[in-house]
């Protein structure tokens, strides 16, 4: 049995779960989503296919979230940006909670490249 086979069979989603939790903890700490992003990039190489979708989702959520925040901050000048920040926070939380839900069921994240919920 190869090292890769041992790695993929022993990975039950704990690392991806930790990444989602780090993302959610970012609302309090501020820095933990960056740690989660680094973990997602590192762990995606040896991940089984169903977990790879979660790592891809985590990477996409981070970068799209950054884009949404920048756009929202620019648009706060015309007030709509404040509403967009709230929507972005909800989007971020929903994507993380959905990821935790799918991991608990041992399922891949459906369409991790999606821009929506």
Mean pLDDT, rounded, for 82-99:
94
> Helix H segments across 76-113?
80-104
Model pLDDT for residues 28-80, shown as the tens digit of each residue:
998 999 999 999 999 999 889 999 999 999 999 999 999 999 999 999 888 89
DSSP tag of 30: S
Cα 102 from Cα 76, distance rounded (Å):
34
Q: Which secondary-structure segment (H or E) carries 71?
A: helix 49-75
């Amino acid at each position: 049995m190869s090292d890769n086979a041992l790695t993929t069979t022993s990975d039950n989603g704990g690392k991806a779960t930790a990444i989602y939790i780090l993302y959610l903890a970012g609302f309090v700490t501020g820095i933990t989503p960056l740690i989660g992003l680094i973990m997602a990039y590192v762990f995606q190489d040896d991940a089984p296919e169903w977990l790879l979708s979660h790592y891809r989702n985590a990477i996409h959520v981070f970068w799209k979230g950054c884009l949404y925040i920048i756009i929202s901050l620019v648009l706060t000048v015309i007030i709509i940006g404040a509403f967009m920040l709230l929507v972005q926070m909800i989007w971020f939380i929903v994507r993380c909670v959905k990821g935790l839900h799918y991991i608990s069921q041992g399922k891949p994240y459906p369409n991790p490249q999606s821009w929506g919920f």
